[in-house]
Amino acid sequence: MTKTDKTDYQQYVVQKNSDVFWSVEEKFQVVLFGLCKQIAITTLCRVNNVSPPLFYEWKKSFIARGKEGLSGKGGSSQKEIDLEKKVHALEHYIGELVLEKELFKKLKHK
C-alpha cells in the first residue's frame, strides 16, 4: 500500500482501541462503511487490516441480528441469555417439586 492510498482512504480507517480484538463499535463502523458502498470492500478491508471473509461474516451477523450480532457471544443476544437463565432456574425448581411430590407419595403409602 502506498502513502497516497492511506491518505485517500483515511476517512474509512477505523481507529482501534486494541491491537488484538475488534470491539462491537469498531466492527459496526467497518460494516457501515461497507454498506455505504462509497469504497470497495477490498480497499476497506485492506486499509483496516481485516480479511474480506471476516468482513462478510461481520456483515452477515449485523444484517441478521443488528449490532448485537457483532458482539461475538455465539449469536445469543442479551435477551436470549437472560431467558436461558430463567429456563434453567425454572427447570431446577420443577425438578425440586417433582422430588417433593414423590417423597410425599412415599410417606403417604407408609
Task: Read off the pLDDT of residues 69-106 as tens digits, 9 standing for 90 and up.
Answer: 777 665 556 677 788 899 999 999 999 999 999 999 88
> From CA 57, how far away is CA 70, in angstroms rounded?
9
Amino acid at 15: Q
Give mean pLDDT, residues 13-33: 83
Asked if pLDDT for residue 36 goes beyond 60, the answer is: yes
Same domain, 67 and 91: no
Number of structural domains (the chain) is 2
Based on the domain organization, do 66 and 90 belong to the same domain? no
Q: What is the pLDDT of residue 11?
A: 77
Asked if residues 24 and 71 have their Cβ atoms less than 8 Å apart, the reply is: yes
State residue 42's pLDDT score.
94
Task: Output the pTM of the full model.
Answer: 0.55
Give the domain extent around 49: 1-74
Is there a single domain that holds both residue 3 and residue 57?
A: yes
Q: Report the distance separating Cα 73 and Cα 88, nearest Å.
A: 18
Name the average pLDDT for the chain. Answer: 83
One domain for residues 64 and 90:
no
CB contact set of 50 (below 8 Å; sequence gap of 6+):
22, 30, 44
The whole-angstrom separation of Cα 78 and Cα 39 is: 33
Same domain for 65 and 90? no
What's the pLDDT score for residue 13?
Answer: 82
Residues 21, 45 within the same domain? yes
Q: Are 54 and 23 in contact (CB under 8 A)?
A: no
User: How high is the pLDDT of residue 6?
Assistant: 55
Same domain, 35 and 3: yes
Reported as a pLDDT band with limits 50, 70 and 90, residue 22 is: confident
Question: Is the domain of 9 the same as that of 60?
Answer: yes
